[in-house]
Chains A and B, each alone.
Chain A
Amino acid sequence: MSALIFEKSAPGRRGYTLPKPTAAEQACRLRIPARYFADAPPELPEVSELDVVRHFTNLSHRNFCVDGQFYPLGSCTMKYNPKINEHVAALDGFSSLHPLLPQLRGGGMLTQGALEVLYQTERWLCEICGMDAFSLQPMAGAHGELTGIMLIAAYHRAQGHRKTKVLVPDSAHGTNPSSAAIAGYEVVSIPSGADGEMDFARFEAALGDDVAAVMLTCPNTAGLFNPRIHELADRVHAHDALLYYDGANLNALLGRCRPGDLGFDVMHLNLHKTFSTPHGGGGPGAGPVGVKARLIPFLPTSVIIKRQDGTLALEYDRAQSIGYVAPFYGNFAIIVRAYTYLLMLGREGLRKVSANAVLNANYVQARLRAHYDLPYDRRCMHECVFSAARQAAQGVHALDIAKALIDRGLHPPTVYFPLIVKEALMIEPTETESKEDLDRFIDAMIEIAAQAERDPASFADLPRTTPVSRVDERKAARDMRFTA
């Protein structure tokens, strides 16, 4: 059992030293009346520095991670996170920089290095995506989506359009419909056809002048590139609607084609997927938003501009801006990491990323197709989606397969997503994995398929090699214990 840090507390134990106030400071009475004070300090643990370090180090051993395991989570792009990125983000000249400095008179000149990182990243993302401008402010992918939909709303308002709906295919990430709804739109879900793409006829039937935007992921969550994408874009634009690109799967297209050229008007990226910044156990990430020229006036406050003399500045006075979506300029330390990655990869490196990511996924698809059902038997892009329907008929579900992989020290693929595939296993190996590691995973998957045929009952108590075995989620929901 893993004791909580609070259970390691002993009254009077200390883990921290403080500078002693000087006599002059000590002589200054706190002029805060007693009624504003807490009766006692908050009940935080009283532990030594070693207690803290050992506690959290031991907790870290109870995690799978990219540095430790193959981690083929579909749609999450769990590629290797280069160490140089961590190193440079921690440089004092970045990490100690106060975000309000550029808001002081003449303060912009104090942060030219940081503004250069932001400006250059924006320019490169524009080139990679075929967009005219980027805002780096959104702090996560879903935050980028919300910002993107707010931009679309502001655009239509300025045009005098009255539009109330956003169309989203049923294969979309849950954040798409959720972001559109939170921004105030009615969401219309469009079913997918037998080929895994949004049903074109039903899409056309739903498309009308009341549609503000259509949100698409390309390649979609089944890992498929829609060859009719530009045709679709034309229909959307014919109704004065905008086409939104969910950039979660951009790893497939780097240097191969650009959302902007395909007809997308607004998009977000996940720097923590495509551009190698670490996922952090669930954040922090970054979700920059790119737009075509006609949406530039609405971009969030502030915008980085290059002056005639080549210096960079932040522009706050923008009449049509949607306003502040972040307190400052986005998750800067994450952007530094992505910038470093782009700097190292350069134009050729990015094309190799997509080539190797797509090759790895197709290789997994080719080697596993005899063992698992392939709902869409087509060339895949950066990820392949299988169904465990055949195994489920034996009583071994996608979740059981996930637990069997965990038992073998491999992180499972995304399971039960996309929703359009029953018993989905969504595998995204990424470009950084070697053939040897892919083979190890594939062999494990093949053995698991055989085990499902032979001995379906053996899955019930998997995993056994982890610090805890299968956990009781219902008990968590019933007990609702969220604190020590």
Chain B
Amino acid sequence: MPFIANTDEQRRAMLATVGVSSLDDLFADIPPAYRLAGLNLPEGLSESEAYDRLHELSRRNAVQLVCFLGGGFYDHFIPAAVDAIASRSEFYTAYTPYQPEASQGTLQAIFEYQSAICRLTGLEVANASLYDGGTALYEAAMMALRITGRNKILLDSGVNPIYRNMLHGYTRNLSIEFSEIETAHGQSDRARIAAALDTETAAIILQNPNFFGAVDDFSDIVELAHARGCLALVSAYPIALGLLKCPGRMGADIVTGEGQSLGLPLSFGGPYLGFMATRRQHVRRMPGRLVGLTEDRLGRRSFVLALQAREQHIRREKATSNICTNEALCALRAVTYLALLGKQGLAEVAALCARKAEYAKTRLGAIPGVAVKKSAPTFNEFTLELPRDAGEVVSRLIDKGFAAGFPLGRYYRGMENYLLVAVTEKRTREEIGRFAEALESVL
């Protein structure tokens, strides 16, 4: 039997100590009518058989496609050192660091992660991480409702449609009023926002770069929001923060985002990493774990989970959130990645992504019938207008070896001919060239 150490002889000795004659006797509290004779499951496999099965399943997935698919989840390169650190079982087989003396490694790594997220977002306090970018945005919205005591939320339609769906799903049982604000020319529509922002509004939720890839400076919107006592929430793409003005500088009150691009594999949707940062004055309203700096009895620098009184295991039904865990191992990956890249490296990766995207725009935009959608400036993702249905084009390009991008018609009515194309530092000039040829050939 795999993973069980005791021998039959040891089991007999232990049963004698317990004072029962068989293993089945240990389950005497289960009423006989509900006791199970057995499960209808296959027989167990050996390790090599299990490996073969998984290996075969892994080969039935098309990971060989050249990836121009983004939509908030990107094919960035992961340095080997990130995997090496995250593979240390001292980190991955530990529990939540409730016992600080036995968990300084995890605690310090999270403290450094919190610090890196603050520096990235330009805010003062970051939590130890949340499940993903979408749940982080939902938690930020709930936090804004608690802080303002108001009930209405404005949602820019440039926010990832998956996250907007999640926000609506989570709040269906609560009486929260959502208004979606359509973008104008792919960018946040100042006039519509100004008209909708009132003194009943708890928060406006924005995204930078937005789902169409457009970059923005929300300073004016934030100012307007603050003038009406409303908080500004920004969902950000962390790689872009190597280059772009950070939401903290724009005045944002809560910044969240998906940390997948910081050294986490795509892994078919998870595990990912929701980051969240805010102003110091809101720290007690923030959900999730928080590691604080302190000292031990001898005055040595130490780390410990702080402000736990906000959390469910103490506050129960009055907690700021029901969240019990964070994504500690993913946060470890992120802080390792950010440390490896460093100040210059992150800026360079960001610039390289943006430059390659501009190159892809010139190549793809030159194809007859294809137009780069005229909009605000973009970072590493942009929208192409095709002469026919983008979903169909994408399907044909799969046969030619490309994950060509995301057809916007899936989430935006009237945009059936539009394709969202993402370019990361991994895409070579040659791949971009072949992609342009393939696209031209299927139109």
Contacts and interface: CB of A to CB of B under 8 A. Distances in A.
B265 interface: yes
Interface stretch (B166-174, B194-202, B225-233): B166-174
A122 interface: no
B319 A110 contact: no
Given A471-B304, A475-B294, A21 B41 contact: no
A279 B95 contact: yes
Counting chain B residues whose Cβ lies within 8 A of the other chain, the interface size class is: 35 or more
B69 interface: yes
A42 B54 contact: no
A105 B395 contact: yes
B62 A110 contact: yes
Interface in B306-334: 306-307, 311-319, 321-330, 332
B116 to A, nearest CB: 6
Contacts of A73: 95
Max count, chain B CB within 10 A of own CB: residue among A179, A326, A327 = A327
Nearest to B351: A30
Contact of B241 (A31, A42, A481): A42
Nearest to A91: B58
A299 to B, nearest CB: 12
A393 interface: no
A57 interface: yes
Interface in B91-125: 91-97, 99-106, 108-109, 111-112, 114-116, 118-120, 124-125
A67 interface: yes
Contacts of A38: 241, 243-246, 249
Contacts of A86: 87, 92
Contacts of A402: 99
Nearest to A284: B271
B324 A142 contact: yes
Contacts of B303: 471
Interface in A356-414: 356, 358-360, 362-363, 365-367, 378-379, 381, 402-403, 406, 411-412
B191 interface: no
Contact of B340 (A52, A97, A183, A355): A52
B217 A35 contact: yes
Contacts of B215: 32, 36
A41 B346 contact: yes
B203 to A, nearest CB: 18
B61 A44 contact: no
B71 interface: yes
Interface in A66-108: 66-69, 71, 73, 76, 78-82, 84, 86-101, 103-107
Contact of A324 (B102, B165, B351): B165
A190 interface: no
Given A100-B73, A104-B403, A280-B328, A179 B322 contact: yes
B267 A469 contact: no
Max count, chain A CB within 10 A of own CB: residue among B30, B47, B317 = B317
Interface stretch (A237-245, A427-435, A448-456): A427-435
A347 B54 contact: no
Interface string A47-77: 1010111011101111111111101010010
A342 B305 CA distance: 34
A341 to B, nearest CB: 9
A114 B317 contact: no
B61 A112 contact: yes
Contacts of A180: 317
B356 A325 contact: no
Given A16-B341, A182-B321, A359 B23 contact: yes
B392 interface: yes
A235 interface: no
A241 B312 CA distance: 24
B36 A257 contact: yes
Contacts of A309: none
B429 A281 contact: no
Contact of A227 (B29, B338, B359): B29
Interface in A292-351: 300-301, 322-334, 336, 339-340, 342-351
A434 B92 CA distance: 22
B177 to A, nearest CB: 15
Contacts of B88: 56-57, 60
Max count, chain A CB within 10 A of own CB: residue among B33, B41, B289, B392 = B41
A453 B62 CA distance: 65
B216 interface: yes
Given A63-B103, A187-B317, A329-B269, A482 B2 contact: no
Contacts of A325: 166, 169-170
A470 B101 contact: yes
Given A42-B119, A142-B323, A52 B38 contact: no
Given A114-B61, A180-B317, A278-B92, A53 B346 contact: no
Contacts of A4: 108, 111-112, 115
Given A41-B347, A468-B300, A113 B58 contact: yes
Nearest to A88: B54
B339 A44 contact: yes
Interface string B28-44: 11110111101111111
Nearest to B24: A355
Nearest to B314: A174
Contact of A479 (B270, B292, B425, B428): B292
Contacts of B311: 174
A299 B109 CA distance: 37
A366 B18 contact: yes
A466 interface: yes
Given A111-B61, A174-B313, A281-B91, A262 B34 contact: yes
A44 B2 contact: no
Contacts of A470: 101, 296-297
Contact of B62 (A101, A343, A479): A101
Contact of A476 (B60, B114, B304): B304
B343 A45 contact: yes
Contact of A468 (B57, B100, B111): B100
A477 B55 CA distance: 48
Nearest to A188: B317
A106 B129 CA distance: 35
A63 B91 contact: yes
Contact of B58 (A80, A92, A379): A92
Given A1-B301, A469-B298, A53 B81 contact: yes
Contact of B289 (A95, A128, A282, A363): A282
B61 A432 contact: no
The 5 closest A-B pairs by CB, nearest first: A328-B269, A93-B58, A346-B44, A323-B169, A113-B60
8 contacts: A38-B244, A47-B342, A89-B267, A101-B62, A150-B172, A178-B319, A467-B104, A484-B112
Given A66-B93, A104-B394, A479-B293, 16 more contacts: A14-B342, A32-B378, A36-B216, A62-B104, A65-B93, A67-B89, A142-B323, A154-B172, A283-B325, A300-B169, A349-B1, A435-B6, A435-B13, A466-B101, A473-B304, A482-B290
